[in-house]
Amino acid sequence: MGEVGLRRSVAAAAALVLVVEAVGLVLLHIFLGMVVDEQQMSMAGLEPRSMSLSAVIAGALVGCYLLLCAVVFASTAIRDRAPVGILRILLISAAVVHGLLGAVSVGLVGWLAFVFMMVVLGLIVWSLLSYSVEERAAEGTSQPSTDNSPPPSGGPHPEPSAP
């Protein structure tokens, strides 16, 4: 498998893992909402129904965010083109979120959750690095530049004098 096949496979794997994570988080938030609703306890004057609904809405928003990231990775794998602009920023934010959640989950949930978060973080970062923006910009030019000198910046530059 060449470099192109590997990076497409990693992007597809990242998309698949993000879909599974999105479904899992939505189901977890629905379960948490049901638990809060069954407890019939208010917290700081909030009704249990509003807390339950808030948990479900939060789960839906997180699920949509992860599904959007998965769609970006799937289109990246299918088209074999780097995401640019806001889509790249979206994927970078997903990497940051997974890094932070991994750091928090090791203390609150355990090492298995930490390992899962780090695997997802690794897939996201690997995909982002394997599809570099410079590579996409180079596709627009037909011949690579062999001149390693910096481009001229407008005015004459005096040569340094020898002592």
- Compute φ and ψ for 158, nearest 5 degrees: -70, 145
Instruction: Kindly list the distances between the CA atom of residue 149 and the CA atoms of 25, 101, 102, 112, 152, in Å, as whole numbers in the listed order.
Output: 51, 44, 43, 50, 9
List pLDDT tens digits, range 38-54.
887 777 888 888 899 99
Q: What is the pLDDT of residues 81-137, one digit of tens each?
A: 999 999 999 999 999 999 999 999 999 999 999 999 999 999 999 999 998 755 555
Domain residues of the chain, as ranges? 1-136
Q: What percent of the chain has pLDDT over 70?
A: 80
Whole-structure pTM value: 0.76
